[in-house]
């Protein structure tokens, strides 16, 4: 898919960047890889590139040709993951300019959130990667936990 390329990320080392202007709703990249029934392991750098389609089914995105694997999580994403069958497309949520980072909400549940720190830098970031609807609950849990220490 033209219009995106790997580049330096302000969030996490490498990311996926727009190489031209994109309009909201435009297809930015397709998350590619085989659909597997066991969670994919890490790549050579120790990073896991996988999208869970549903419990027990993942897209294994380790293939270097899968540029969408480089899109980082952000609490205020520039793209959304749109599932179409066993395919996931990253579509622009807003207009993007060349050099803008393509990010999306990884949608992690509470059980996974505490194992995945968020580095997006948003003022309202809860500090962990968790789906947007669960962020208020995570913030409450973190406040209660601090009170017990």
- Domain ranges across the chain: 4-106, 108-149
Q: In CATH, what class is 4-106?
A: mainly beta
Phi, then psi, of 135 in degrees rounded to 5: -60, -45
pTM comes to: 0.89
Full pLDDT tens readout for the chain, 149 residues: 579 999 999 999 899 999 999 999 999 999 999 999 999 988 888 888 999 999 999 999 999 899 999 999 999 999 999 999 999 999 999 999 999 999 999 999 998 888 899 999 999 999 999 999 999 999 888 887 665 54
User: Residue 49: helix, strand or coil by DSSP?
Assistant: coil
Q: Which residues does 40 contact at the CB level (< 8 Å), separation at least 6? A: 33, 48, 49, 50, 58, 60, 61, 62
């Amino acid at each position: 898919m033209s219009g995106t390329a790997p580049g330096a990320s302000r969030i996490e080392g490498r990311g996926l960047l727009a190489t031209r202007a994109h309009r909201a709703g435009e297809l930015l990249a397709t998350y590619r890889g085989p659909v597997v029934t066991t969670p994919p392991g890490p790549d050579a750098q120790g990073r896991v590139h996988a999208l869970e389609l549903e419990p027990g089914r993942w897209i294994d995105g380790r293939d270097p040709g899968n540029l969408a694997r480089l899109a980082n999580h952000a609490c205020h994403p520039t793209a959304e993951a749109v599932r179409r069958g066993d395919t996931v497309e990253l579509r622009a949520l807003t207009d993007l300019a060349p050099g803008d980072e393509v990010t999306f909400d990884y949608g992690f549940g509470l059980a996974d959130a505490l194992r995945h720190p968020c580095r997006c830098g948003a003022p309202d970031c809860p500090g962990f990667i968790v789906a947007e609807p669960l962020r208020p609950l995570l913030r409450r849990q973190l406040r209660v936990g601090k009170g017990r220490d």
